[in-house]
Structures are given as structure tokens and as C-alpha cells.
Amino acid sequence: MTTPIIAPSILAADFANIQREVEMLNNSEADWIHVDIMDGIFVPNISFGIPVTQAIHEHANKPLDVHLMIEKPENYVQAFKKAGAEIITVHYEACPHLHRNIQQIKDLGCKAGVALNPHTNVQLLEDVIQDIDMVCIMSVNPGFGGQKFIENTYKKVRQLKEIISDAGATTLIEIDGGVNQDNAKDLLDAGADVLVAGSFVFSSEDPINTISKLKTV
Ligand SMILES: O=C(CO)[C@H](O)[C@H](O)COP(=O)(O)O
């Protein structure tokens, strides 16, 4: 098991004090800042958009891992790159021309990720696995923080790890939703590389310490 990449999800932060929250993450062992964009169409919730992402970027000294839970992501990736995104993840379910979407993200100079909803089989990514930098396995139904982790995720991580290894690829596996101290180690043992944690970090008494604990679980 290698040291995980920890990406706290800013969705669970105090938005009235976003600068303070980002500075807290700057001073923590967090590796990336996970930024959840929801459009109210692909998912039944609206979070925030390009100006807030830009504001987070202005205060952050860590890469922004931008998760687009939106329809027609191709219309917005350039704006999110300009707002400071280093990793841009689109949803398999929102992209009938996924290969084109991946190339568009890479042509902008960003790392390209593809997210899978809980019902989407990891095998559907076999033909693009060499092209993508990361797969984000949703371990909750996307749209809201603070949901219960779906146990079937472990099986998906193991299956995806095998697909990546058979292809000789270096694609990272990210887990997003309901990640906490109780499931982090099992996820890493199954093959996960990146852990996204929102409420578990921001609802804790000492988020910096909580991030350190996830890092060394
Ligand atoms: O993508 C998301 C929701 O769609 C969030 O990143 C995810 O839910 C993380 O939040 P939590 O750790 O509170 O579950």
C-alpha cells in the first residue's frame, strides 16, 4: 500500500469563510483540493461555478481537482482550466463522446479524469483506460455530501485495479463519497490511490489532524 493522495472536498467547507478554509487546507497534509461542480441537471443539486472556483484557486497552494457533475462538460472545461483547475473529471454518464472530452481536457494541459456513478460498470472504461489519468469511483450517488458509503465500491476498485494493471496503465483510482477513518484502509488495500473526504474532514473538531490521520491510515 502506498501513501494515499488526500483530496478534501471543499463542498463541506464553511462558504462564508472560504479563504480561511482554503488556508487551513494549505497548512494541512492535503495533497489536492477537490472542487465539486453541480448543475442541477446531471445531479439534483446546485453547488457553485467558475467564479468560486477561481476564488478558491487564488488562495490555494495545492492543485484543484475539479469534479464536473454537469451536462455538456465540453462547454465549460476551458473556463474551469482558466479558473485554476489542474485535474478535470467528467462523468461517463454525461459524455456520449467521452474520448473527445478526454482529449479536450488533455489538450488544455490538464490531467483528465472520468467519474463513474455507483451503477456504472468499471469495464466500460477498458477502451480509454490508457488515455485517462484518473478514474473517480463514486461511492455515493453524486449530488450531496454527507451520504452513506456504498459497500459495493470495494469490488469496483478491485476490478478497476485489474483493468489498469492488465493495460499496463498508470491511471489513478479516486474514491469519492462517504470516505472516513473506518473505510479508508480497506479502500487503499483494494487499490485506491486518492481519497476524497468532505464531511469527515470539515465536520471534525480538528480538520488538520483528521487529514493527517487519513494520510497515514
Ligand atoms: O461528489 C460529491 C458529492 O456528489 C462529494 O465530493 C462527496 O460526497 C464527498 O463528500 P462526503 O465526504 O461528505 O461524502
151 by Cβ neighbours in 10 Å (0-12 / 13-18 / 19+) ranks as exposed
- Known binding positions for a divalent metal cation: 34, 36, 67, 176
How many Cβ atoms from other residues are within 10 Å of residue 157's Cβ? Answer: 24
pTM above 0.95, yes or no: yes
- Known binding positions for substrate: 9, 67, 143-146, 176-178, 198-199
Q: How far is the CA of 90 from the centre of ligand 1 (A)?
A: 15
The three cell numbers of residue 100 are 473527445
> Where do the domains of the chain lie, and which CATH numbers do they carry?
5-215 (3.20.20.70)
Q: Which residues have a catalytic role annotated?
A: 36, 176
pLDDT tens across 23-44, in order? 999 999 999 999 999 999 999 9
List, chain by chain if needed, residues with CB within 6 Å of any ligand 1 atom.
9, 11-12, 34, 36, 67, 140, 142-147, 176-179, 196-200
d(CA 100, CA 217): 37
Q: How far is the CA of 212 from the centre of ligand 1 (A)?
A: 19
pLDDT surpasses 80 at 142: yes
Overall residue count recorded for the chain in this entry: 217
pLDDT tens across 175-201, in order? 999 999 999 999 999 999 999 999 999
Q: Look up the ipTM and state it.
A: 0.96
Residues linked to residue 6 through DSSP beta bridges, in sequence order: 195
Burial 102-116 (b: 16+ CB within 10 A, else e): bebbeeeebbbbbbb
